[in-house]
Amino acid sequence: MTSTTSPATQPSDADQAGIAALTQKVIAAWAYHDADGFAGLFTEDGTMILAGVHRNGREEIRAFLREAYQGRYKGTQVTGKPLGIRMLGTDAAILLTHGGVLEAGQSEVSPAAAIRASWVVVRRDGQWRLAAYQNTPANAN
Amino acid sequence: MSKIGTPSREQLVRKAAELAPLLRKHASWAEENRRLHDEVIDGLADAGVFKLRRPKRYGGYEADTRTLVEVTTELGRGDGSAAWVASVYAIPGWMACQFPDEVQDEVFATPDVRVCGTLSPSGMAAPADGGIVVDGKWRFTSGAHHSHWQEILAVLVPPAGEPYPVMALVPMSDLLVVDDWQTSGLRGTGSVSTVAKNLFVPQQRVLPLGAVLQGEPASQRSADSRIYRLPLLPVAAASSVGTALGLGRAALDTFLQRLGDRKITYTDYESQSAAPLTHLQVAEATLKLDAAEFHARRLATQVDSKGTEGAPWKIEERIRARADMGAVVKLVREAVDILAGASGGSSIYTDVPIQRIARDVQAISLHALMHPNTNTELYGRVLCGLDPNTQYI
């Protein structure tokens, strides 16, 4: 990178793929309704903010997901694709995605369920982890 | 079957043709249940369909693609979904033969083994001790319900260097099936989604996709074989066109069958078969199907000749394989449109096959690798001296 490049830089191909892989891991863990698997993608002190939900730390996230997979999210799938990735130094990045929850029988996210999300990701022991996840409805109303 | 153990093309095609009544019988069931009936799978096995592309050393026939086209055409005359699944099994089944011999020993230990898979690299993989770990979800996995293995494609992120796509072979028991196959066409194919979560795949069951696209088998025995030493896309193209051809023939069969006692309602035509309009329609559709057959035959002949000669492929030849596939789909679709459009209001009842045939052909023509427009544009761009805009050639 040249000296004129801003602090937020483009990721290398490997980092880009490694960070984007988190979306695949969430999709897979969700399909299995695997609360441990999804929560395990967060750092120990990771945070999750959804509409009406704020969980601090991997344990709280795990407990929330475990209950949700037996309730509200039972039988659902999730989908998400990267909108962009910006590096914040070598071991941290922001991943923006769009996607949402698919109810049983849905192949596309409904306008009401569509979300955009911010993922703050950090590299820990060579693995990209979620330090903070937050999403917002993509459409007003 | 012939005395030497490997049936002739004529025998295999006849067996497939004899299956048509069974396929027709279960076609509605397959649509309703969104998967093939077990009796159809058994029938395909009995007719040797799952042995077509299986290596001879495992009791297979190593049939050429011309045989595959003719067999799947006959299956398509019975039921498009059954033919589609048979041709899908023929492609990942062939891809399994690109792996090292010890992997093939394991896969082909199962008689009539069925391997499903798509060409979409919709998973991510990371290196692990002795192999890779994969997460991902693959849609459109035709034939998953009756498969033993799936070929999954994923992008491997190595510790250093550029990420690249790999093809991995995994037992179905390692995958989660998500039944999301609610569709308007090819409903009987059971093309559900499958999911891999943190799935370890040993190194010997992983190949770089590039080697398979180029036609460089990891198995020396496959590298010496006229049917396996070929690039993936032309083989996949030749393996796919039979279903479309068969559906086209089925449309003509069913149209002519119904023609006998049909009138043209609210006109003075007592018989549809007496109207010059009908003559034009039947002839046009038939000529389009003949032309489709030409492209399918040319495609299969090219693939089989290259395999026999062990000759390298020029870019133009690879692209023509895609163009021939697109042309088959285009011509069949046009023929079916004509025939379905001439089949009357009564043809929208679900027990009249032509409405299903039209939906199946529509589904095929929207397939990303089979879409006529995509293939024709690709052909034209290369004819005009530009580079292809896809790796899938």
At A8 the pLDDT is 66
Please count the other Cβ atoms lying within 10 Å of the Cβ belonging to residue A75. 10
Facing A77 at nearest CB: one of B161, B178, B197: B178
Q: How many CB pairs under 8 A join A and B?
A: 60
Give the strand pairing for B123-128 and B176-178. unpaired
Instruction: Examine the pLDDT at B2 and tell me if it is beyond 70.
Output: no
Percentage with pLDDT > 90 across chain A: 87
* DSSP one-letter code for B64: -
Of residues B32, B33, B36, B133, the one with CA closest to residue B80: B36
The complex scores an ipTM of: 0.89
B165 inside 8 A of chain A by CB: no
Chain B residues with CB under 8 Å of A17 CB are: 124, 155, 157, 163
pLDDT of residue A7: 56
Q: How confident is the model at residue B334 (pLDDT cuts 50, 70, 90)?
A: very high
Residues contacting B148, CB < 8 A, separation 6+ = B107, B110, B113, B114, B115, B171, B172
| B10-47 per-position pLDDT tens digit | 999 999 999 999 999 999 999 999 999 999 999 999 99
Confidence of residue B121 (pLDDT cuts 50, 70, 90): very high
Question: Could you tell me how many residues make up chain A?
Answer: 141
Domain with CATH 2.40.110.10 in chain B: 115-208
Residues 139-158 of B with CB under 8 A from A: 155, 157-158
Six-digit token pair at B229?
Answer: 């030493």
Q: Which residues of A touch B (CB under 8 A)?
A: 13-14, 17-18, 20-21, 24-25, 27-29, 31-32, 34, 37, 77, 105, 107, 126
Of B137, B159, B162, the CB nearest to A13: B162
Q: Is the pLDDT of residue A2 over 70?
A: no
Per-residue model confidence (pLDDT) at position B160:
81
Contacts of A107 in chain B (CB under 8 A): 180, 182
Q: Does domain B115-208 have CATH number 3.40.50.300?
A: no
Number of Cβ atoms within 10 Å of the Cβ of B260: 9
* pLDDT in the model for residue B3: 47
Distance CA B107, CA B97 (A): 9
The class of domain B9-107 in CATH terms is: mainly alpha
Mean pLDDT across the stretch B309-313?
94
Residues of B in contact with A77 (CB under 8 A): 178, 180
What architecture is the A8-136 domain classified under in CATH?
Answer: Roll (3.10)
**How far away is chain B from the Cα of A94, in angstroms, using its nearest Cα?**
19
Is residue B1 scored above 80 in pLDDT? Answer: no
Contact B136 A27 (CB under 8 A): yes
Q: Per CATH, is B232-383 categorized as 1.20.140.10?
A: yes
Q: Is the pLDDT of residue A5 over 80?
A: no
Return mean pLDDT, chain B. 96
Residue B5 pLDDT > 80: no
Give the model's pLDDT for residue A11: 87
Position A6 pLDDT exceeds 80: no
List, for residues B355-366, the tens digit of each pLDDT value: 999 999 999 999
With beta carbons under 8 A apart, name residues in chain A contacting B165.
none
- Residue B381's pLDDT is 97
- Does residue B4 carry a pLDDT above 70? no
**A-chain residue closest to B196, CA distance:** A28
User: Given a cut of 70, is residue B104 above it in pLDDT?
Assistant: yes
Highest mean pLDDT among A111-120, B159-168, B219-228: A111-120
Show residues of chain A in contact with B170, CB under 8 Å: none
Region B232-257 average pLDDT = 97
- Determine which helix (DSSP H) or strand (DSSP E) holds B125, and give its type and residue range: strand B123-128
Range in A3-17, B59-73, B107-121, B135-149 with the lowest mean pLDDT: A3-17
Q: What is the mean pLDDT of residues A33-56?
A: 97
Tens of pLDDT, residues A9-31: 888 888 999 999 999 999 999 99
